[in-house]
A and B are shown apart, each in its own frame.
Chain A
Amino acid sequence: MGLEDQLQESVMTTTVDRLVGWARKNSLWPMPFGTACCAIELMATLASRFDIARFGAEAIRFSPRQSDLMIVSGRVSIKMMPVLKKIYDQMPEPKWVISMGACASSGGIFNTYTMVQGVDQFIPVDVYIPGCPPRPENVIQALMKIQEKVARAKAV
C-alpha cells in the first residue's frame, strides 16, 4: 500500500521548473515595440479575429517593467535604437524577444544610412518572423515557439 495509491489522481508530482514554466508560458505579457506597418498586423493578432488571448498573451503592457516578452515590430533607426535598448533593459528578467518582420530582423528594404540592419546586433532575439509584414498566423506561431522556449527555461 504505497502513498500514490492512497492519493490516486488528486495529486500530481512535477518539478518547480516545469510548474513555473507552465505558468509563465501561458501568461506572457508582451511589450509591443511597434514602429511601422508590422505593428498593424500585431494589433490584428491581438484583436478578436485572431485573439492572442487564447494563448494567455492578451495583457499588452506599454510599460516595460510589467512585461516579459518584447515584440519588435517595425523598422528601427539608429536614433531609435538607444530607446529600444533602454526599454529592453528596463524589462525584468526573465524576458524574451520576438523580432517581427523583415525590417526588425535584417533591415528589410531599408538598406540605408539611417537604419539598423537587424535589432539582433544589439539585443538577443529568440524568434524571428519573416514577412513584410507577417500575417497574424505567423505571429501566433512565433508566440507558440516562444511558449516552447519559456516552458523549457530554468526557473530555479
Chain B
Amino acid sequence: MTMAEVEDSPAIQTVRERYPDALIAVHHAFGDESIVVRREDIIPVLTLLRSDPGLRFDYLVDVTAVDRLYLDEDVRFAVVYHLYSHPHTRRLRVKVPVPEGDGHLPSAAALWPAANWLEREVYDLFGIVFDGHPDLRRILMPDDYGAHPLRKDYPLHGKGERDRFVF
C-alpha cells in the first residue's frame, strides 16, 4: 500500500518559490499541513503568508511551543504558529526550531496584534524570548515566579513556589 502523493497547497508553493532556503520540511497529516521554517527567516515567511494576496493568512489562531527534551530531536524547542485565512478558508501551521542555549525568536506582534499575549504566554511558560516584543512580561504566572513551568525538566509540583510565595 502506498500513500497517495499529497499536493502542496498554494501557501507552501509560494513559500518554496520565494524563500527556498527557509523551508526545512513540509508535513501533511490528515488533511492538515505544516511547514518547518528556519528561525532567521521566520518574519519574512510570516509576512509573506499574511500579506500575499493569494494567501492572506489574516488570523493568527495560536502561538505555542513544544519542549522536545525527551524526544529524538536535535533542537529542543519548537515554536508553532497556527494560521487561518478567512478569504481562502485555509489553515497552516508554521513550526520554528529554537535551540535551548539561545532561546530567542523575533516577535510577530507587528504582523498580528494577537501575537502580543500569545508570545507572552510562550515566554512565561517556556522561557523563549521574543525579540522586539512591545511588552514581554509574564502573563499567567505571578511576576516574581522564578521558573518556566511548562518545560519538561520542571517538576509538576514545582520547586516549592506554591509553599513559600510571599505577598
A interface with B by C-beta (< 8 Å) = 78-79, 81-82, 85, 111-117
Contacts and interface: CB of A to CB of B under 8 A. Distances in A.
B31 interface: no
Contact of B158 (A79, A82, A85, A114): A114
A81 B147 CA distance: 19
Contacts of B149: 113-114
A113 B155 contact: yes
B159 to A, nearest CB: 8
B86 to A, nearest CB: 35
Interface string B138-167: 001110000101000011111101110101
A116 B167 CA distance: 13
A124 B39 CA distance: 52
Given A79-B141, A79-B142, A114 B167 contact: no
Contacts, number: 36
Nearest to A122: B167
6 contacts: A78-B165, A82-B167, A111-B156, A113-B154, A113-B161, A114-B141
Nearest to B154: A113
Contacts of B154: 113
Contacts of A115: 162
A78 B140 CA distance: 11
Contacts of A112: 156-158, 162
B157 A78 contact: no
Contact of B167 (A81, A113, A117): A81
B142 A78 contact: yes
Contacts of A78: 142, 161-162, 165
Contacts of B163: 117
Given A112-B157, A113-B158, A113-B159, 12 more contacts: A78-B162, A79-B142, A85-B167, A111-B157, A112-B156, A112-B158, A112-B162, A113-B156, A113-B157, A114-B158, A114-B162, A117-B162
Nearest to B167: A82
Chain A CB within 10 Å — which of B147, B155, B162 has the most? B162
Given A81-B167, A111-B157, A116 B162 contact: yes
Contacts of B167: 81-82, 85
Contacts of B161: 78, 113-114
